[in-house]
Structure formats: structure tokens, C-alpha cells
Amino acid sequence: MGEDLKTLKLRIKDKHAAILGQMAREVNTVWNYVNELSHRAIRERRQFMSGYDLQKYTAGYCKCDDVLVGAGTVDAVCSEYATRRRQFKRSRLNWRVSNQKSPKRSLGWVPFAGQQIRYKAGQIVIAGHKISLWDSYGLADYEMRAGSFSQDARGRWYLNVAVRVDVKPSLGRAAVGLDLGLKTTATASTGQKIDGRLFRAAEKRLATAQRAGKKRQVRTMHAKVKNQRKDLLHKFSTQLVKENAAIFVGDVSGAKLIKTTMAKSVHDAGWSALKTMLEYKSHQAGIVFSVVNEAYTTQTCNVCGVIAGPKGLAGLNKRMWECECGAVHDRDVNAALNIRARGLASLEAGAAA
């Protein structure tokens, strides 16, 4: 048994929304200040300021009158800004908007360092303020690290905090391949499938609520779909990690398909979230996770290796096909079996080298 970091998410009680909202506005002020400061340094001196450099210019902000956030939060904002600027390779990032009536309003976000918070009697204490929450994990049993308070589209606040947990290695001995799709989010080489059209199922009801101007109901419906998808993917990924020693996923690119007319279906499928879950859960369980080339896996017979499956747009509606060797295939299961075979072959080649 080993140890690893895990992020816990807990719901904050609504009575603290006002104080967290004020903290979030102060965070936005710091973000926008360092955004402009960094941009000017790049434009005028060709200097790319690090998070440490930015912290020097914001050191006194937490001492101003009526400011609630502490120095740890201000430093965390500076570090996060520098990280995101490098990630997106831009000289200036988007402004954080505090105006509640603006269509570009930023959802609340208050980062903190581990030494800033402590847990006591069902409450989180930060900057002298006690924040009550629904403690479904038993935070008293964990050592809390860095994290943040975050707000969702419905105005609800959550605590996101990293903790160190004991990790049990997977006892699985099998290997599984996964074919990612739109109608079906994922098909395993074992034949198991998970539906990927949760948003599509609620689309008509969403459209009706939108035409009626029921904004609160629309936000609630979107949140429900998001939670259903997250729950489904978590259960599916956890089961795969428990039952297998190696997981192989096709390298389909959601980033490319998002730019096409299939964008809505790609978002609905949740490929990126599934891959992320599988990757970190596999790492924690000590098993293999790998993304393999899925070219021609749909058309190649997993029995004889001949490319005889349906091709082109005309073949997309063919869910079953028969190979010239006589094997009858479910298109997605066949692709998953080929992905599994390619993944195992790459492991064998790596071991031989």
C-alpha cells in the first residue's frame, strides 16, 4: 500500500456565499493587476515576470483596509497567473470580471496555501473566518494541502483541497482496450459500453426552458447533466482500474473534432474527462495506462487482420459487419480489441528493447 495526493470536493453552506463572493472579487482585483503588470513588462522590457516577481508587487495588498484575503491567497494568484501565461503562451490573459450582471462574469475562485486553512469542528478556518460545510469525507482524518474555494454556475460554493491518501494497488491481471465514440462514449474490448448522449437526452427540455426564459431551471438542468456524466465516468473508470493491469485507449483527438459540426456531441461524450480519470487512477493503482494509435482499428478484423470493415461516411451507420473470414463484428468492440492488441504489442516491444 502506498500514498498519493487526492483532491476532495465538499459543498460549502450557502450562508457563506457573501463573504466568499467578496474574497473572489479581491482575487479578481489581484489577477487583473498582475495581468496588466506582466503585460507591460513584456511589452516595454521584454521581461517575462515569474510568480515570485509578481508577488513582490502585491505583497501589501492583504494589509489594506477591508481586504479579507490573506497573503497566501495573493501569492497563490500570482503563481497561478504565471503558470497559465506560460501554458497558453500569451503575453496577457483574459480579465476576471466581478460584475454579476455581465455576460462575461467570472465564476468565483479563491485559492489558498495549505498553511492558510485549518479544520475545526466541521468548519474551515481561513483568514479568521469560519466557513461551514457538509463534511462527507471526514476532513479531521486528513492533512490538508493547498486548494481553493470555487463557485459553480448556480452560485454554489465548494471547497477543493488536496489531501494525502493511502492507495491500494489493483489486483486485476487482465488488459482492456477502449474505443471512444460519440453515440457511445466508450466501448471496452470486453463488450461493456457507456452511453455518451446525456446532454442530447435533455436537449429538448433545455430548449423549452430557455425559450421560456427560466434561467435558474436551465442552470439546474445543465448541472444535473454534468453530474450524471461525471458519476457515470467515475464508476466506469474505477471498475476498469480494479479489474485490469493494463488499460489502452485510442488516440482520437477531441480538440480537432470540437472545431467541426460534431462539437456538441464531442463535449457531450466527455472523452477528456474519462482519459484524465483513467490516467490518474491507473497511476494510483500502479497499473499501465497508455494511449495508442487507433488508425484503421474499426475496419481491421481482429481475427484475421484484413482491412475489410465499412469505410467512409457511408459506413458510419453500419454497427455490425462481417469479414471475409466469416467473423461477425460489432464495429466498436472490434476496434477496442484491435486497440488492446496494439497496446500489448507495444508493451512487448518495449520489454524486448
Encoded amino acid at 257, one letter? L
- Burial of 212 (C-beta count, 10 Å sphere; 0-12/13-18/19+): exposed
Average pLDDT across the chain, whole number: 90
The pLDDT of residue 264 is above 80: no
Mean per-residue pLDDT for 219-225?
89
Percent of the chain at pLDDT above 90? 59
In the chain, CATH 3.30.420 covers 174-352
Residues 324, 302: Cα–Cα separation, whole Å: 12
Write out the three cell numbers for 153: 454556475
Alpha-carbon dihedral sign for residues 223, 228, 231, 232:
negative
Q: Is the pTM of this model over 0.75?
A: yes
Query: Stretch 117-129: mean pLDDT, rounded?
Result: 89
Cβ neighbourhood burial of 160 (10 Å; 0-12, 13-18, 19+): middle
CATH topology of domain 174-352: Nucleotidyltransferase; domain 5 (3.30.420)
Tens-digit pLDDT profile for residues 28-69:
999 999 999 999 999 999 999 999 999 999 999 999 989 999
> Is 302 in contact with 340 (CB distance < 8 Å)?
no
Which pLDDT score, from 0 to 100, does residue 312 have?
A: 66
Sort 262 into a burial class: Cβ within 10 Å, 0-12 / 13-18 / 19+.
Answer: middle
- The DSSP output letter for 182 is S
Q: Does pLDDT of 259 surpass 90?
A: no
The pLDDT value given to residue 243: 93
Sheet-wide strand order for 288-292: 193-195, 184-188, 174-180, 244-250, 288-292
Q: Do the Cβ atoms of 263 and 182 come closer than 8 Å?
A: no
User: Residue 43, Cα to own-chain centre: how many angstroms?
Assistant: 33
CA angle at 220 for the pair 215 and 223, rounded to the nearest 5°: 125
Cell of 56: 513582490
